[in-house]
């Protein structure tokens, strides 16, 4: 897929955009092709809205999510300006020399940026060797006939054509250490600006995700549900809740439950006491029944003994048989 990106009003066409192509790759290729130093971000405009894309955002996936064609969306490569520190006297003199050298020698890449015809950039071609390895930062490399290192100027890919004698009068050698420190501070400032921009892009992405979640929550709740679902609505409901009244009601409910528990516990203790008393009475009754049965058995035995004695006294005496004197020859005795 081909993608058209506007760089300061000039359209450039990026070829070979696939499903895995990220915004960082497109920014890197465009910056290399146009020899653009500094930090850049990719901005898209559609339906009157403007949105900043994160470096890891995939272009094809983003177009699918917004349901737009590449021709209907406008992509813009926007430079992130970083505030520069206040220059000293030697730096002011260096800026003056820089403007003079820029007026004498106009750089080729700047002419290429100001052309009106769109240029195509391929994502598959190799970057030039002179480009820096850092993200969207390019430095001027000294040539064979260039002046010494301490009189080089950091321009947009252009070296100062002044002779070493002129530069030695304009900027003495004792300022070399200050220039090195200034360059280090400038690099640190650029790195911090890049971190700030990445954090800003991350915050924008998080805001976008939160908005999508809230929209999905509203869609799930439905238009006829009668209530709004979302973090803001939940916070509003929590803030509007009468917490003191609810706390007092819960405390009253807890007191009622404690009273009910004490009442039931007293009833259980009373029933337990009654059961113990009934158990003791049952044991005593069993002892009395046992004693009564023993007494009845004793009286019955005594009555039986008395009855036997009475029967013996009332019965006739027993007749004992006579001894037989006959023999077997006389016959049978009767």
pLDDT digits (tens, 9 = 90+) for 277-320: 999 999 999 999 999 999 999 999 999 999 999 888 887 666 55
Report the domain count for the chain: 2
Residue 79 has what pLDDT? 84
175 and 278 within one domain: no
Residue 279 has what pLDDT? 93
166 and 291 within one domain: no
154 and 13 within one domain: yes
171 and 261 within one domain: no
90 and 24 within one domain: yes
287 and 144 within one domain: no
Instruction: Annotate 29-57 with b (16+ C-beta within 10 A) or e (fewer).
Output: bbbbbbbbbbbbbbbbebeeeebbbbbeb
Structural domain boundaries enclosing 269:
242-296
Residue 215 has what pLDDT? 79
Residue with tokens 């009189």: 151
282 and 204 within one domain: no
Asked if pLDDT for residue 73 goes beyond 80, the answer is yes
pLDDT digits (tens, 9 = 90+) for 227-275: 555 677 788 888 888 999 999 999 999 999 999 999 999 999 999 999 9
Secondary structure (3-state) at 45: strand
Residue 35 has what pLDDT? 81
Q: Is the pTM of this model over 0.85?
A: no
């Amino acid at each position: 897929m081909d993608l058209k990106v506007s760089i300061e009003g000039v359209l450039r066409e990026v070829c070979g955009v696939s499903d895995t192509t990220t915004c960082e790759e497109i920014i890197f290729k465009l910056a290399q092709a146009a020899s653009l130093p500094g930090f850049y971000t990719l901005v898209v405009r559609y339906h009157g809205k403007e949105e900043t894309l994160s470096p890891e955002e995939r272009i094809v996936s983003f177009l699918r999510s917004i349901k737009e064609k590449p021709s209907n969306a406008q992509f813009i490569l926007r430079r992130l300006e970083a505030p520069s520190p206040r220059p000293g006297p030697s730096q002011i003199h260096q800026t003056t020399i820089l403007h003079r050298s820029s007026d004498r020698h106009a750089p080729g890449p700047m002419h290429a940026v100001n052309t009106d015809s769109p240029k195509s950039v391929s994502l598959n071609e190799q970057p030039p060797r002179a480009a820096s390895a850092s993200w969207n930062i390019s430095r001027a490399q000294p040539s064979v006939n260039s002046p010494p290192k301490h009189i080089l100027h950091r321009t947009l890919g252009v070296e100062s054509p002044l002779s070493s004698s002129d530069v030695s009068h304009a900027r003495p050698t004792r300022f070399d250490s200050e220039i090195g420190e200034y360059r280090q501070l400038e690099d640190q400032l650029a790195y911090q600006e890049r971190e700030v921009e990445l954090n800003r892009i991350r915050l924008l992405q998080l805001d976008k995700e939160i908005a999508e979640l809230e929209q999905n929550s509203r869609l799930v709740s439905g238009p006829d549900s009668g209530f709004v679902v979302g973090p803001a609505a939940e916070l509003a409901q929590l803030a509007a809740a009468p917490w003191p009244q609810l706390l007092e009601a819960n405390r009253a409910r807890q007191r009622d439950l404690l009273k009910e528990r004490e009442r039931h516990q007293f009833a259980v203790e009373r029933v337990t006491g009654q059961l113990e008393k009934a158990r003791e009475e049952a044991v005593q009754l069993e002892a009395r029944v046992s004693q009564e049965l023993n007494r009845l058995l004793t009286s019955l035995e005594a009555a039986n003994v008395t009855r036997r004695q009475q029967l013996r006294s009332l019965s006739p005496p027993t007749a004992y048989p006579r001894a037989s004197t006959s023999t077997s020859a006389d016959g049978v005795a009767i």
